[in-house]
Amino acid sequence: MWTGFHFVPESTVKIKKNGGIDMSQAVGVKRIDILIEGATIISPGLGGSDEKMAVVDEGAIAIDGERIAYAGPSPAPLEFRNARKRIDASCLIALAGFVNTHTHAAMTLLRGYADDMVLMDWLNKKIWPIEAHLDSEDVYWGAMLACVEMIRAGVTTFADQYFFMDDTAKAVRDSGIRACLSRGLIATSPDSSQALRENIELCQTWDGAANGRITTMLGPHAPYTCPVDFLEKVMEAAEELGVGMHIHLSETLGEVEESRAKHGGMSPIELMDSIGLFGFRTLAAHCVHVSAKDIEILSSKGVGVAHNPGSNMKIASGVAPVPAMLRAGVKVGLGTDGACSNNNLDLLEEARLAAFLHKVANNDPTVIPAEQALTMATLGGAKAMGMDSDIGSLEPGKKADIILLDMNKPHMYPKHDLTSHIVYSARASDVTTVIINGELVMEDGVLTGIDEQEVLQTAEERAKALVRKA
């Protein structure tokens, strides 16, 4: 279908342009905070369907405080045209900010430190020994580096599991990004009880902080590091706090085989279901080696899955049956994992990898089409984290987490299908402007509230010192 200046697939919802004259200075018109004008808006939800992308050729987005007041054709209705700041978004694409559903943010300090290794060797011989030397300052600056990298790549929300999480929370607060934080819990470590107390205190101290940008979960690492008796303590805490779980599940074949041998033939997912863990809002990372029964459980219990194609491929964990999960109604988002196993935090790259990986794994070029991959990077991730009432799409009433991409680039021409271009052609460096919670955190490629050079220099110094300790 030809629609002005680019082609849109027949399945895509199309929104028509408003008419009318600009009366932005009219007496009695409310003054809003930011008005984005002239953008090509691409988002699920705007056309009334979460499954289809709506495309607005010349769109406007009005931001009032921390929320979207209007998103649709230009010009915006009269009541939204009087703005404190106007952004000319001609030749720009407006998207909901990307949602990174699984990270270990401070592991940016270990980027390139332990590559090309088997997962358990990687953990036991390299990662856990050097992590023993991490301190709170390391984690703050590693997390700040992650926040800078993610903001520049258009990530506006991430789900993190690590330790010294007060310091990750401070980095989130200081950078302007949105995050759901959990303290990683390993029952086999000597400080497991203290770690659980730290996670509880994290929830008590930081949930709702930074103008609501910080939310919290409990973070049991995985069933193979957290026996059932420990998980029962975690669930008791979750019940008291009213929070959910962020846990690694069925990442490797060995993990699944060990679970079946120890727990009467039950997979990690079956085991977690049997003890009632899925009675809490759960974000399950990886879910690579899952059976049809596992998928049924994930779907019926509303478990969100963080699919990490880049990390899974690099560590050779396997190929998660994501198309089958999606067909079963499982809520699947995309994650990068830590920068030590990826080695970047570029969620746009994960969307591309997800689309490519499942096409070749299924010998079917039609699985995970571009539209679905983009939805996984935005609204799908928000659903997996249980945050879709607030983020994931550019709908009025949702939080103003918005990114602008420059489409005036050689790799974005000709403009046959911009949704396809975003997934298959666009780059993280195409992101020009990032708005989170209604605040401009990057404008025209410049971070507004972070001394980027200080972050880069300090992170480099702390990473080198950390390696010397190891």
pLDDT at 29: 53
> pLDDT tens, 326-369?
999 999 999 999 999 999 999 999 999 999 999 999 999 999 99
Tokens for 398? 């949702």
How far apart CA 467 and CA 470 sit, in angstroms, is 5
Judge contact between 317 and 275, C-beta under 8 A. Answer: no
Confidence band, pLDDT 50/70/90 cuts, at residue 321:
very high
- The strand pairing partners of 83, in sequence order, are 32
Which of 24-28, 43-47, 165-169, 207-211 is predicted least confidently? Answer: 24-28
Q: Say whether pLDDT at 76 is over 80.
A: yes
Q: Say whether pLDDT at 16 is over 80.
A: no
How far apart CA 90 and CA 406 sit, in angstroms, is 9
Task: Report percent pLDDT > 90 for the chain.
Answer: 88
How far apart CA 358 and CA 318 sit, in angstroms, is 11
Q: What CATH number is given for 98-384 in this structure?
A: 3.20.20.140
Judge contact between 202 and 181, C-beta under 8 A. Answer: yes
How far apart CA 442 and CA 434 sit, in angstroms, is 5
Confidence band, pLDDT 50/70/90 cuts, at residue 190:
confident
Q: What CATH number is given for 13-96+392-446 in this structure?
A: 2.30.40.10
Amino acid at 274: S
The rounded Cα 111 to chain-centroid distance in angstroms is 19
How many Cβ atoms from other residues are within 10 Å of residue 454's Cβ?
A: 11
- Going by C-alpha positions, the residue among 94, 178, 143, 160 that lies closest to residue 387 is 178
pLDDT at 189: 83
pLDDT at 27: 43
The mean pLDDT of 27-51, rounded to a whole number, is 84
User: If 0-12 CB within 10 Å is exposed, 13-18 middle and 19+ buried, where does residue 324 land?
Assistant: middle
Q: Say whether pLDDT at 7 is over 80.
A: no
Which of 56-60, 120-124, 147-151, 415-419 is predicted least confidently? Answer: 120-124
- Going by C-alpha positions, the residue among 327, 314, 309 that lies closest to residue 102 is 309
- My answer on whether omega of the bond before 75 falls inside 30° of 0, hence cis, is yes
> pLDDT tens, 227-260?
999 999 999 999 999 999 999 999 999 999 999 9
How far apart CA 22 and CA 184 sit, in angstroms, is 53
Confidence band, pLDDT 50/70/90 cuts, at residue 45:
confident
pLDDT at 92: 98
Judge contact between 114 and 122, C-beta under 8 A. Answer: yes
Task: Report percent pLDDT > 70 for the chain.
Answer: 94
The CA-CA-CA angle for residues 185, 238, 290, to 5°, reads 65
Confidence band, pLDDT 50/70/90 cuts, at residue 30:
low
How many Cβ atoms from other residues are within 10 Å of residue 112's Cβ?
A: 9
Strand 155-162 to strand 98-103: parallel, antiparallel, or no bridges (unpaired)? Answer: parallel
pLDDT at 39: 98
User: If 0-12 CB within 10 Å is exposed, 13-18 middle and 19+ buried, where does residue 101 land?
Assistant: buried
The mean pLDDT of 209-234, rounded to a whole number, is 97
The CA-CA-CA angle for residues 67, 70, 75, to 5°, reads 145
Q: Say whether pLDDT at 13 is over 50.
A: no
Mean per-residue pLDDT of the chain: 93
> pLDDT tens, 308-317?
999 999 999 9
Q: Where are the domains of the chain?
A: 13-96+392-446, 98-384
pTM: 0.94
> pLDDT tens, 279-298?
999 999 999 999 999 999 99
The rounded Cα 244 to chain-centroid distance in angstroms is 17
**Exposure string (b/e) for 225-248, b if CB count within 10 Å is 16 or more?**
bbeeebbebbbebbeebebbbbbb
How far apart CA 210 and CA 14 sit, in angstroms, is 36
- Going by C-alpha positions, the residue among 37, 71, 87 that lies closest to residue 443 is 87
Tokens for 470? 């190891």
